Structure 1
Amino acid sequence: METLGSTTVICSDKTGTLTENQMTVQEILAGPDRFVLTGGGYAPSGEILTPGGTVLQNLPVALAECLRCGLLCNDSLLVEKEGRWIVEGDPTEGALLAAAAKGGLSGQEESKRRPRLDTIPFESQHQYMATLHSDLGKPPVVYVKGSVESILARCSGALSSEGALEELDPGKIHEAVEEMAAKGLRVLAFSRMELPEGKQRISHEDVAEGMTFLGLQGMIDPPRVEAVEAVKNCHSAGIRVKMITGDHAVTASAIARQIGLAHGEKALTGRELAEMTDSELLETVEEVSVYARVAPEQKLRLVEALQTRGQIVAMTGDGVNDAPALKRADIGVAMGITGTEVAKEAADMVLTDDNFASIEAAVEEGRGTFDNLTKFIVWTLPTNIGEGLVILAAVFLGIVLPILAVQILWINMTTAVLLGLMLVFEPKEPGIMDRPPRVPTEPILTRMLARRILLVSGLMLLGAFGLFKWELTAGAGTAEARTVAVNVIVMVELFYLFNCRSLTKSVFEVGFFSNPWVFVGSAVMVGLQLLFTYAPVMNIAFQSKPIGIESWLRILAAAITVMLIVGIEKKITSRGMDRRKTSGSAGISTAML
């Protein structure tokens, strides 16, 4: 949790984490023509429109084959539950099924007519999936879908609208891809090839060349609304967010701009990443916000480069190949819905909803937890130091001890539970995500906090020892004087507790009543101190004695004085920090000029 709160870079997947993972095919290129699809989500209802905007009545051969390829080269199902269509399997494949249904193709009929014989499953290093099908009275046919680059590299021709084989024009296809990707569409390419009679199995060598290009399908995966706000909060908190995706670079950049990640800079592709030396990557890794067409094994290299630059890295992943990067990252975040068991075991935390906003919330929670831990330490140390100083002062001065061992035990047992523990319930301070991440090498107790601890310890010594001597000088017995000293320590702790509810701000700035448990603990603590002072059984057990109202007034005066002094110290320190920030900003502005 401490590491999560000090995260400086979050490397996130795009699909399903920064986006909704609700794919819908919106555009298709088949032959020379482009088509637009209506309807949204996974519902198989909608129409295919011609370039002129009219509803398409009869599917051209190339379009029908492009849709058929997406339908048959597919391992997912569309299911209607409670009036809502959902996908059982991969969302991208669900979008292809819905698009085929809008074209009038039935998955059941097509599978019956062209039963599957063999499959090459999708692998990130190959970036395609292939299925072999028998075709009644015809040679077996293999359908392939995948990234544009991987499909074009295997094609030697293209299918025309009428079904004739024509020359492949890669430049025109890439132009169409760029236009689709610029709209934020995720683009897949499709191809087919007939194989010799009797072919029952396929390998990568079978689909390495000689295929026929069928077309492109561009689908939208809109950004999560909450991810936009989460990215904005991360930037305010000094956390850099980097998108790492297997999608086309233009698509990734378009989505990144929509969620506020990129502002015109070019995405770095996996191919460019592979060509970079380690020194070149170190120079650019912090500046680039979008990485496209990245292989899982390249994530590990990115993590190591960022860590070499001194960054605390949180990395998301879901696949088996993501495990090394998840393990190497300072915080590995596995996807709870789409993640494999290997990824979950390698990660430090599992994202149950696969939502980037949950990562941002976890970082915020980590900061709050670390803050409360620091507050407890800053609160409890003066007690131990103050008690020790009181004993040492009495020993060096050669006088009777102001507090006994059993009384110290009483103080430590009761205050730690009833006062210190209440800081655990302290809500996160306003603006906790508006400050930069904590420097990992910075100690928990900074110089400012160490100075405050010594200040309170000294004030506790003066209050407890001073009023102990006051009571003895006024004629009180040793037991009464010790009771006063114990109550001084406890009341100083109680009032100092309100100082510790924020390390830099006044308790009124964070909300005086925002933590009701502080008041509950304080009330019980006061009740126990009254029993400690006046209950006969407690007087016997802890060698205490009742004290008068004048003694209580002096005790409260000492406690309130400590609270006010610490409040003034915080105000002075806060102003000093603000001046340093202002001068630092001015220096930066001057340098920029």
Structure 2
Amino acid sequence: MWRDKDGVAILSWFSKDVEQVLNELQVNQRQGLTDAEAQSRLGTYGENKLKSKPKKSIVALFFSQLKDMLIYVLLGAAVITLLIGEYTDSVIILLVVILNAIIGVFQEFKAEKAIEALQKMTTPRALVRRDGDVVEIDSKDLVPGDIVVLDAGRYIPADLRLIESVNLQIEESALTGESVPSEKDASHVFEDPKTPLGDLANMAFMSTLVTYGRAEGVVVGTGMNTEIGKIAKGLDETQTEMTPLQKRLAELGRTLGYIAIGICALIFVVALIQKRDLFEMFLTAISLAVAAIPEGLPAIVAIVLALGVTRMSRINAIVKRLPAVETLGSVNIICSDKTGTLTQNKMTVLHLYTHREFFDVPDEGTATASKRTQEKLIQTFVLCTDATLVDGESTGDPTEIALLVLGEKYHMPKRELEAGHERVAERPFDSDRKLMSTLNKEGSRYRVHTKGAFDNILKIATYALVDGEKVPLSEQLKADYHRAAEEMSDQALRVLGAAYKDTDEIIEPEDMEKDLILLGLVGMIDPPRLEVKEAIRQAKLAGITPVMITGDHQHTAAAIAMQLGMATSLGQTISGSDIDAMPEEEFKQKIGNYRVFSRVSPEHKVKIVKAFQSHGNIVSMTGDGVNDAPSLKNADIGVAMGITGTDVSKGASDMILTDDNFTTIVSAIKEGRNIYNNIKKSVVFLLSCNLGEIVAILASVLFFWPMPLLPTQILWINLITDTFPAIALGVDPGDKDVMKKKPRDPKESFFAGGAALRAVIGGSLIGILTLVAFYFGLNEHGYQLWSGSIPEKVLTYAETMAFVVLAVSQLFYSLSMRSASHSIFRVGLFSNKYLIGAILLGIVLQFAVISVPFLAAAFHVQMLSLQDWVIVILFALIPLLVNELIKLGMRVRNKQ
């Protein structure tokens, strides 16, 4: 159906023939729309995308931050203080709540924008004909009337009336629930307007998947005016799912919450026994609960993950699922495709081979085929392709593009050949057969052209063309071809074979690849990427084993692998047929011996992944084809190719490489490790700060000392000195040596490696030094912690010293949290500008609170003497210095 702007059905496209449809939409199939017309229609019909529920406004985001039990408690405290006339405390509590909500809004907004940016980068692409040329565009830019080119592995980008189809099958379970692919035929016309959706063989619908064959269709519905759009109305497809790390931290937060509530109850009971001011202790208990419960952890983890994956997108790795970031740090096996990932994906034909004759293909310029067999060989390779090459602009598979370039060098461009040899049928390439065949007109007869993996060509050929004569393909001839293929493979060349046969009539696709005449071979090279060798060296240093998986010949694959340092000998390679011949248990036992898997099918990939995983390995697997989806799903990290990958492989993956480069996988693992470490730094820092506050307050209550901190002061510290440094630690540049360490065990506790001990030591020190500063403030005026009737002015001075030490010690301590083992000078004192900014901001705000009269009065603090400033700064530096000394001791012990 095509609907108008109000969604009303105005045309039943399936009931009209192809010519009528094209006339109605005012488009020529061979030319497509002009760019100007496409832009005009885009203005009329809008972008081709499904609308979701309206996004939350800033105001709605703000109020959603207030939906928290602790916030309710704080608001209750603000009301109580207001009722008893403590207006300053009420204002401060409300300001803290508002500031906390603003920071939450900023975090959520930033995370949402980062995810939106990633979604834009993963917008599906569509092949369309515009101004006579086939170009690839974002599917959101499609308009009614666009001519869309379809092939196996692509999702249908809009509702289409098919205008041409060859062996087309589409999986439509997204719409019909039918899991078996539907056969499609563009020539059908359905007159019954009530024909069920699943029976419309001349239509293709948005979000369904081409599983076989190829076709062209004209867009008849976009966006919400599609069949899937009807289903999407009123639904919001976006789902927010917490990562395993966020879930663990939320659980930790709940546990700490229960502990904090217990401590608050204890404080209240002790206060009752000691006959303290119950209202003051009530406020203290509330503020302590807020300080003790790290309710900001999930939010900080979310923003660190979102910013981290945005940073990864800049290095060409788009992470689709946030849990993948955590898994990346544990990857110890990278299974990588060869073509395009380890190599440059710029195939060039170097040699032609017909029986016992090698021909060198010129690097530049043109040449003439010296023999008829050679001419037929090139002609078959050019006609048996789906790629295009016009005026240097190409689309399609790089291997096929290389064959078209070969044709142009020998004065046989595809356009000219097709003009006299029209394609009438075909059998598309299949990753199991590793073959492709076309049936083209040859005068009054027809000719089958077949190209593909040399081994598979030999299996289906029964004759060979020798000196222009058709002769039976004897074992001796096969041996000659095998020798030629191995000679090219040993030079790291990819070898393809070609064969043909003539027929008097159009034959079925299944009959094309029988009794063929072998023409010859081509040897083409896809040189290794220059940067990959260094990336492989880095991966090995990081405890990661790189493995090559390819459909290429064993010798070709081994030659490239040895050039790159992935393998050391031919003994480390195994072919798909050898895998099939080996019992599964034996294959699992021997999997660690292999670094190159050649001549493999997508089914082998799943077997390889499971074999590696059976030894407890965390496996990353690359893929680009439709049939790669199972192996991408089975791998711990599925990595799809952004350039050559099909929509199916991208849909099944956890990560997409926009440059199809192996080096990007290694860079992504490095980034993933650093993101996890940064989150760990933020969490340990927050817990240390919270513990310091608990130690100071709890000790004062238990020993019946005066309270060193007021509730409003605790809330201020919790907001300023916790949140900003924690976020800054989350975007730390990371450890330069992170790739010199082994992958992280996914079962490893979040507090492994002494993190819990560091949090306890750091937090205890901060708390004790806060009490020591409080004692110094009292002692300067002739009072002790146990003195009775301490004057208000003296108490305020001592509280100020404790207040400054607690805040500034946390700020300084954040510097030491940047590395668990290296000194702050080794990591670079100023290398994290955000952290330096957070510390300076915290110190400036802290100084403003005690020096600006109305702020000082509000927080019950006063200006300190120069001598006391020196004392509090020295105290504040101690946790930083102690942590640095502990790290020094660890380094010395490790060296010994």
TM-score, normalised to structure 1, is 0.91
| Correspondence for 1:355 among 639, 661, 665 | 661
Aligned letter for 2:338? K
Partner SS, residue 119 of structure 1: strand
Partner of 1:182: 490
The answer to whether the aligner puts 1:443 opposite 2:767 as a matched pair is: no
Equivalent pairs, count: 558
Partner of 1:561: 878
Partner of 2:68: none
The answer to whether the aligner puts 1:3 opposite 2:327 as a matched pair is: yes
Cα distance, 1:289 vs structure 2: 1.0
Cα distance, 1:477 vs structure 2: 1.7
The answer to whether the aligner puts 1:411 opposite 2:717 as a matched pair is: yes
CA displacement 1:407-455 (0-9 Å, x = unmatched): 1111010012332222233213222222221121212222422221111
CA distance change for structure 1 residues 543 and 225 in 2, over 3 Å: closer, same or farther? same
| Correspondence for 1:277 among 583, 589, 609 | 583
Cα distance, 1:516 vs structure 2: 2.2
Cα distance, 1:220 vs structure 2: 0.5
Partner of 1:78: 389
Aligned letter for 2:687? L
Partner of 2:416: 109
CA distance change for structure 1 residues 447 and 69 in 2, over 3 Å: closer, same or farther? closer
Aligned letter for 2:894? M
CA contact (8 A) 2:642 2:659 kept: yes
Q: Determine the C-alpha separation between the residues in 2 that align with 1:167 and 1:302.
A: 35
Partner SS, residue 756 of structure 2: helix
The answer to whether the aligner puts 1:524 opposite 2:830 as a matched pair is: no
The answer to whether the aligner puts 1:15 opposite 2:344 as a matched pair is: no
Q: Determine the C-alpha separation between the residues in 2 that align with 1:188 and 1:247.
A: 9
CA contact (8 A) 1:285 1:306 kept: yes
Aligned letter for 2:518? F
Aligned letter for 2:353? L
CA distance change for structure 1 residues 167 and 526 in 2, over 3 Å: closer, same or farther? closer
CA displacement 1:242-282 (0-9 Å, x = unmatched): 11111111111111112221111431111111222232122
Q: Determine the C-alpha separation between the residues in 1 that align with 2:373 and 2:471.
A: 10
Q: Determine the C-alpha separation between the residues in 2 that align with 1:186 and 1:494.
A: 59
The answer to whether the aligner puts 1:212 opposite 2:523 as a matched pair is: no
Aligned letter for 1:8? N
CA contact (8 A) 2:463 2:470 kept: no
Partner of 1:191: 499
Cα distance, 1:166 vs structure 2: 5.0
TM alignment of 1:500-539, pairs within 5 A: 500-539=817-856
Q: Determine the C-alpha separation between the residues in 1 that align with 2:512 and 2:388.
A: 27
Partner of 2:766: 460
Q: Determine the C-alpha separation between the residues in 2 that align with 1:109 and 1:472.
A: 97
Q: Determine the C-alpha separation between the residues in 2 that align with 1:536 and 1:103.
A: 88
Partner of 2:607: 301
TM alignment of 1:385-400, pairs within 5 A: 385-400=691-706
Cα distance, 1:21 vs structure 2: 0.8
| Correspondence for 2:447 among 136, 141, 147 | 141
CA contact (8 A) 1:326 1:333 kept: yes
CA displacement 1:120-177 (0-9 Å, x = unmatched): 000011110011122114x422111111111101111210123343543211211111
Aligned letter for 1:19? T
Partner SS, residue 469 of structure 2: coil
Q: Determine the C-alpha separation between the residues in 2 that align with 1:577 and 1:332.
A: 37
Cα distance, 1:364 vs structure 2: 1.4
Cα distance, 1:561 vs structure 2: 2.3
Aligned letter for 1:96? L
Q: Determine the C-alpha separation between the residues in 2 that align with 1:20 and 1:308.
A: 33
TM alignment of 1:542-561, pairs within 5 A: 542-561=859-878
Cα distance, 1:515 vs structure 2: 1.8
Query: Greater shift after overlay, 180-189 or 6-15?
Result: 6-15
Cα distance, 1:403 vs structure 2: 1.4
Query: Greater shift after overlay, 162-171 or 238-247?
Result: 162-171
Partner SS, residue 92 of structure 1: helix
Q: Determine the C-alpha separation between the residues in 1 that align with 2:724 and 2:668.
A: 28
Aligned letter for 1:384? N
Partner SS, residue 505 of structure 1: coil
Q: Determine the C-alpha separation between the residues in 2 that align with 1:72 and 1:578.
A: 66
Query: Greater shift after overlay, 444-453 or 175-184?
Result: 444-453
Partner of 1:100: 407
Partner of 1:492: 809
CA distance change for structure 1 residues 291 and 383 in 2, over 3 Å: closer, same or farther? same
Q: Determine the C-alpha separation between the residues in 1 that align with 2:507 and 2:532.
A: 44
CA contact (8 A) 2:461 2:473 kept: no
CA displacement 1:481-538 (0-9 Å, x = unmatched): 1111111111211221221122210111122221222222222111111122122222
Q: Which ranges in structure 2 are unaligned for 5 or more consecutive residues?
A: 1-324, 782-792
CA contact (8 A) 2:778 2:798 kept: yes
TM-score, normalised to structure 2, is 0.61
Note the aligned Cα RMSD (angstroms).
Answer: 1.7
Structure 1 runs (4+) greater than 4 angstroms displaced: none
CA contact (8 A) 1:270 1:298 kept: yes
Partner SS, residue 247 of structure 1: coil
CA displacement 1:29-57 (0-9 Å, x = unmatched): 112211111216xxxx344xxxxxxxxx6
The answer to whether the aligner puts 1:287 opposite 2:287 as a matched pair is: no
CA contact (8 A) 1:66 1:214 kept: yes
Aligned letter for 2:494? R
TM alignment of 1:305-454, pairs within 5 A: 305-454=611-760
CA contact (8 A) 1:121 1:130 kept: yes
Query: Greater shift after overlay, 342-351 or 468-477?
Result: 468-477
Partner of 1:130: 437
Q: Which ranges in structure 1 are unaligned for 5 or more consecutive residues?
A: 48-56, 580-593
Partner of 2:24: none
CA distance change for structure 1 residues 571 and 58 in 2, over 3 Å: closer, same or farther? closer
CA contact (8 A) 1:132 1:202 kept: no
CA contact (8 A) 2:695 2:768 kept: no
CA displacement 1:294-329 (0-9 Å, x = unmatched): 111221121122222111111111111111111121
Cα distance, 1:353 vs structure 2: 1.3
Q: Determine the C-alpha separation between the residues in 2 that align with 1:515 and 1:473.
A: 39
Aligned letter for 1:559? A
CA contact (8 A) 2:355 2:481 kept: no
Q: Determine the C-alpha separation between the residues in 1 that align with 2:819 and 2:850.
A: 31
Partner of 1:589: none
Cα distance, 1:100 vs structure 2: 2.4
CA distance change for structure 1 residues 422 and 359 in 2, over 3 Å: closer, same or farther? same
Q: Determine the C-alpha separation between the residues in 1 that align with 2:494 and 2:624.
A: 19
Cα distance, 1:187 vs structure 2: 0.3
CA contact (8 A) 2:425 2:509 kept: no
Q: Determine the C-alpha separation between the residues in 2 that align with 1:135 and 1:419.
A: 74
The answer to whether the aligner puts 1:243 opposite 2:545 as a matched pair is: no
CA distance change for structure 1 residues 467 and 258 in 2, over 3 Å: closer, same or farther? same
Aligned letter for 2:329? G
Identical residues among aligned pairs (%)? 36
Aligned letter for 1:68? Q
Partner SS, residue 864 of structure 2: coil
Structure with higher RCO (Cα < 8 A, 6+ apart): 1
| Correspondence for 2:560 among 255, 277, 280 | 255
Aligned letter for 2:415? Q
Q: Determine the C-alpha separation between the residues in 2 that align with 1:310 and 1:167.
A: 48
Cα distance, 1:179 vs structure 2: 0.9
